Amino acid sequence: MADATSNTGARPDLAGLDPALYNEDQLPTTANERTWSWVSIAALWVGMVVCIPTYLLASYLIGSGMSWDQAVMTILLANAIVLIPMVLVGHAGTKYGIPFPVLLRSSFGPAGAKIPAVARGIVACGWFGIQTWVGGSAIFVILNTLTGGALASDPLPILGISAGEFVCFVAFWLLHVYFIKNGTESIRWLETYAAPFLLAMGLALLYWAYNKAGGFGEMLSTPSAFDEGGEKEGEFWVVFWPSLTGMIGFWATLALNIPDFTRHAKSQKDQFVGQLVGLPIPMALFAFIASAVTSATVVIYGEAIWDPIALAEKMGGASIIVALIALIVATLTTNLAANVVAPAHGFANLAPSKINLKRGGYITAGIGLVMFPWILVNHIVGWLLAYSALLGPIAGIMLADYYLLRKTNLKVADLFKSDGIYSGSGGTNWAGVGALIIGILPNLPGFLVGVGLSSGTSDFFATIYTYAWFVGLFVAGAAYLVLSKIFNK
């Protein structure tokens, strides 16, 4: 891929732009602001990959009957697939230096773009609160262990958690606010230095498990339940396809707002190589570490322990401090990149002249603080995973618009004009909005069942929902091309 920074060395003439449609954070990055090499992009992904939810992914697949190698290969394949839209959508960020909400204006119009931008932001706000609670819990375990259990106390009224847990949650929340205050470059700095530390901690955990158990134990030699004579003989593909879709959906949200990061890349080669190195292989490696370590815990402790916080507590001694510090760093790097930048840009896009990226980040942090994530965590995860599957149509529309309709050619200045070529009707491109609705509809029956709002649906719609992300992407993309010919003659 050729270097594209020469196309974005200068910003559009501000004199012709609508002041209500931009702020300093949304204008195209200049050549001097392109500081992210492929190492920076790869480190960003390693920082996001190494977290508790991804550690648990293999457990879901092994629990469904897969052997460890089938689980790891499923995760590797899913991330190789999701890498394709990551790189394709990321291309626009690097070529034009624009963030996700501004790119959306090409297919949804400046007013219509607020809908998908906020939809993406809602998912991120939910995960932000949950991840902050997880990190705060890790801090509480460390301090409670060091003080011999002195922090343990009865739950506070209204909050439903102890004073110690609440203080640790707020402390971890304030750590996020610090990096929000210091901007995107501070996040890049954190990700770059945290990545090798996190990889080293993962490999150290793997060595500990192997050495302590005298091998990885029985789990890694346990055959698949789908093999001949197994409990689920011949049912592999029935489980594989929805599992693959679920694993794709895990990072599919980032495939939408990846321009928020690739706009800082030095070149297309940097964003491509960085994502290629940073996403599929580290995901598969981390899944293997989780599988192997959990397998070893069966030998060491007589039970399979998937939760890394619970494992750290079992390990005891100084190792608990090292392990949980690693968990805190891992959760912080994931949360800042995956769950702060996207909603911050999304909220800023609602009123760019009044809300900049920093204020959008503060709004995100505020929502995460007041949503009582320690209560919602038991109810909202299913919603968020299902909701993420419905974001496939947005990716389909963006790809159809940028590659098939625009041939990667955008008039950047018009993205910041209320009466420009992307303004549609009254600021909304109804081809984009209509295609979004059409792309969601086939998956809606399955979604309602998935989140408990419906007791069942037909086999036809249940099967469609198995491939929700793919269906949404292709249906919405095709609908957008058709509707564009109708609405935008």
243/76: higher pLDDT? 76
pLDDT of residue 8: 45
pLDDT greater than 60 at residue 411 = yes
Torsion of CA 47, 196, 132, 100, to 10 degrees: -20
Check residue 384 and give its pLDDT: 57
Q: 389 vs 297, which has greater pLDDT?
A: 297
Which amino acid, 124? Answer: A
Structure-block tokens of residue 128:
């932000």
Query: Is the pLDDT reported for residue 4 higher than 60?
Result: no
Write down the pLDDT at residue 9.
Answer: 46
Helices 100-112 and 392-399, interaxial angle, to 10°? 90
Residue numbers of the domain that contains 367: 36-378
Rounded Cα distance, 292 and 177, in Å: 35
Residue 180 within a domain = yes
**Distance set, CA 441 to CA 123, 435, 466, 484 (Å):** 19, 10, 14, 19
Q: State the amino acid at position 381 in one-letter form.
A: V
| 5 pLDDT more than 60 | no
> Is position 450 within any domain?
no
Residue 417 forms part of a structural domain: no
Q: What is the 3-state secondary structure (H, E, C) of the chain?
A: CCCCHHHHCCCCCHHHCCHHHCCCCCCCCCHHHCCECHHHHHHHHHHHHCCHHHHHHHHHHHHCCCCHHHHHHHHHHHHHHHHHHHHHHHHHHHHHCCCHHHHHHHHHHHHHCHHHHHHHHHHHHHHHHHHHHHHHHHHHHHHHHHCCCCCCCCCCCCCCCCHHHHHHHHHHHHHHHHHHHHHHHHHHHHHHHHHHHHHHHHHHHHHHHHHHHCCCCCHHHCCCCCCCCCCCCCCHHHHHHHHHHHHHHHHHHHHHHCHHHHCCECCHHHHHHHHHHHCHHHHHHHHHHHHHHHHHHHHHHCCCCCCHHHHHHHHCHHHHHHHHHHHHHHHHHHHHHHHCHHHHHHHHHHCCCCCCHHHHHHHHHHHHHHCCHHHHHHHHHHHHHHHHHCCHHHHHHHHHHHHHHCCCCCCHHHHHCCCCCCCCECCECHHHHHHHHHHHHHHHHHHHHHCCCCCCCCHHHHHHHHCHHHHHHHHHHHHHHHHHHHHCC
- Residue 366 is assigned to a structural domain of this protein: yes
What is the greatest pairwise CA distance in the chain? Answer: 73
Q: Give the torsion sign (CA, 132, 133, 138, 141).
A: positive
Q: Give the residues across from 36 on adjacent strands.
A: 265
CA distance 113 to 193: 35
Kindly tell me if the per-residue pLDDT of 2 is higher than 70. Answer: no
State the pLDDT confidence band at 446, using cuts at 50, 70 and 90.
Answer: confident
For the chain, how many structural domains are there in total? 1
245-296, pLDDT tens digit by residue?
888 888 888 999 999 999 999 999 999 999 999 999 999 999 999 888 888 8
CA atoms within 13 A on the CB side of 268: 14
Domain of 367, CATH number, reads: 1.10.4160.10
Q: pLDDT (tens digit, 9 = 90+) per residue, 283-318?
A: 999 999 988 888 888 888 888 888 888 888 888 777
Q: If you average pLDDT over every residue of the chain, what do you get? A: 88
Query: Taking residues 93-114, what's their average pLDDT?
Result: 96
Q: Which residues contact 2 (CB under 8 A, 6 or more apart)?
A: 267, 268
Residues forming beta bridges with residue 265, ordered by sequence position: 36
User: 397-432 b/e with 16+ CB inside 10 Å = b?
Assistant: bbbbbbeebeeeebebbbbbbeebebbbeebbbbbb
Q: Which two tokens stand for residue 142?
A: 């460390």
Which residue, 116, 10, 92, 15, is CA-closest to 416? 15
Percentage of the residues of the chain whose pLDDT score is greater than 70: 94
Residue 306 lies in a domain: yes
Q: What is the mean pLDDT of residues 51-66?
A: 85
Q: For residues 252 and 86, what is the distance between their CA atoms, to the nearest angstrom?
A: 8
Lowest mean pLDDT among 107-116, 274-283, 314-323, 400-409: 314-323
Distance CA 36, CA 403 (A): 24
At residue 378, does pLDDT exceed 80?
A: no
CA–chain centroid gap for 328, Å, is: 18
Do the Cβ atoms of 266 and 5 come closer than 8 Å? yes
Residue 228, in any domain of the structure: yes
Would residue 391 count as lying in a domain?
no
Task: Assess if residue 332 is contained within a domain.
Answer: yes
